Chains A and B, each alone.
Chain A
Amino acid sequence: MKITLKVWRQKDKNSKGAFKTYPIDDVSQDMSFLEMIDVLNESLVKKGEEPIAFDHDCREGICGMCSLYINGRPHGPLQTTTCQLHMRSFKDGETITVEPWRAKPFPIVKDLVVDRSSFDRIQQAGGYVSVNTGGVPDANEIPIPKRIADEAFDSATCIGCGACVAACKNASAMLFVSAKVSQFAMLPQGQVERKTRVEKMVAQMDEEGFGACTNTKACEAECPKEIKITNIARMNREYFAAMMSSTNV
């Protein structure tokens, strides 16, 4: 199949970027989107041009490194990660526009690569649990209802790719932060830092400059891991309760 790729090219953080168009003639429908860019990059290198910089790592949909805003949607037309998107999802002769995530807290490093370390700093602010020392506890010593375990697991499947921020009109990180808050708040291991965690993570989220949630649900519609906005409601509850009752004055 033939496609035309309209890609955002930006030399570095401080340069002004612009779209550049690349016609590609021999695209296989079985290629993943990233493989298609690999092929294009090989041809660019052969021609002595600078290849397109883009983030990727596991290429099996679990690491959260790939990003790309494809034809106006994070990770493209399917609700999956870009590495799991294949060229059969596009029409022959189609013009595909590829942009980086656009958010102030995700500054563009080069071309399609953005710096998502703001997510790391939010995690570092409170997204962890205390570890017990001493003997290994018996398995199933603390009974956890299956429903709670499943819900916590669903929240924990967030891979921190940032599609929620990219899709949100306010570049809000609330789906990400709420998933991270939820996975600990629902389980016994997370109780020690429960109040401090949500206070610190929300404070760091604000510090990084992410927007507020307007409940448009665009994040939920685009999240490749199908994280639900019930997490955001839970984070709101956790935050208001923590602010009213914690001893952090």
Chain B
Amino acid sequence: MKWLTNLFTSTLGRKLLMALTGLFLITFLAVHLAGNLQLLKDDGGKSFNIYAEFMSTNALIQTVSKVNFALILIHVIWAILLSRKNRAARGSSYAVNNKSSHWTSRNMGILGTIVLVFITIHLKDFWAQMHYGSVPTVNYDGTEVRDLASIVAIWFDKAWYVALYVFCMFAIAFHLWHGFSSAFQTLGLNHVKYNPVINFVGRAFAIIVPALFALIPIMMFLN
């Protein structure tokens, strides 16, 4: 079994874990966005509440949710392990350094930290509220459903909260700008035929998904 520990403690193995967890979290973002977009429906939050109730009670979704938390933790812990190793490898810094690389690729740690802080606030305000807090209920055709949309509306009525949300979406966008295509390179998928597709989809995803996420609080604030 030594080979397995060797694999996951090697720099390449650690990067593999970063790439795989990163790609899973990318798919999670897409699913999460699909749910959130229902807040923009003009139905008093009905669609969103039914969706939220389903997501927080369905056994399969709850299992995937636990896996998701575990993968976020792995992504963070391995990022810290790699950053420490990388910093140690540099040793002393240069007096003059013209960095020949993109800003996002050099600052994934800072961007990731902003995203982590955002996730923590986000979980406290919505996820923890839904699972452990008190949420008013609403009745749809005889079914009692928790009214998470009303909690969201309270938060998205505060300008500073909307501004913070939008700022964090920029951090996610920049994180994805590098992370999406970088994950494929780490997995060894670098091919003249597929690189343009990966880069295009990655950049489109990095712009469109955070933009749509940010659109929801902005629209709710303006309404």
A interface residues (Cβ-Cβ under 8 A, vs B):
8, 19, 69, 71-73, 97, 99, 102-105, 167, 169-172, 202-203, 205-206, 209-218, 221-222, 229-230, 232-240, 243, 246, 248-249
Contacts and interface: CB of A to CB of B under 8 A. Distances in A.
B188 A234 contact: yes
A243 B7 contact: yes
Nearest to B186: A236
Interface in B165-223: 178, 181-182, 185-190
Given A97-B96, A212-B14, A229 B190 contact: yes
Contacts of A215: 105, 178, 181-182, 185-186
A233 B19 CA distance: 13
Contacts of A239: 10, 12
Nearest to B188: A237
A240 B19 CA distance: 13
A209 B86 CA distance: 9
A218 B101 contact: yes
Interface string B1-27: 111001100111111100000000000
Given A211-B89, A249-B1, 15 more contacts: A69-B96, A71-B98, A102-B90, A167-B100, A211-B85, A212-B15, A212-B86, A214-B105, A215-B105, A216-B101, A217-B101, A217-B102, A236-B15, A243-B6, A246-B3
Interface of A is mostly: mixed
A97 B116 CA distance: 39
A169 B188 contact: no
Given A216-B106, A222-B100, A233 B189 contact: yes
A214 B108 contact: yes
B95 interface: yes
Given A73-B98, A218-B101, A221-B101, A172 B91 contact: no
Interface of B: 1-3, 6-7, 10-16, 82, 85-86, 88-102, 105-106, 108, 178, 181-182, 185-190
14 contacts: A99-B96, A102-B92, A104-B89, A212-B15, A212-B86, A213-B11, A215-B178, A216-B101, A218-B101, A233-B190, A238-B188, A240-B12, A240-B188, A243-B13
Contacts of A202: 10-12
Contacts of B188: 233-234, 236-238, 240
A237 B94 CA distance: 33
B86 A172 contact: yes
B108 A209 contact: no
Contacts of A172: 11, 86, 89
A69 B82 CA distance: 25
Nearest to A169: B106
Given A170-B90, A218-B101, A233-B189, A212 B3 contact: no
Contacts of B1: 249
A213 B15 CA distance: 8
Contacts of A19: 95
Given A216-B106, A240-B16, A103 B90 contact: yes
A238 B188 CA distance: 8
Contacts of B91: 102-104, 171
Nearest to A170: B86
Contact of B94 (A69, A229, A230): A69
Given A212-B11, A233-B190, A102 B94 contact: yes
A170 B106 CA distance: 9
Nearest to B187: A236
Contacts of A209: 88-89
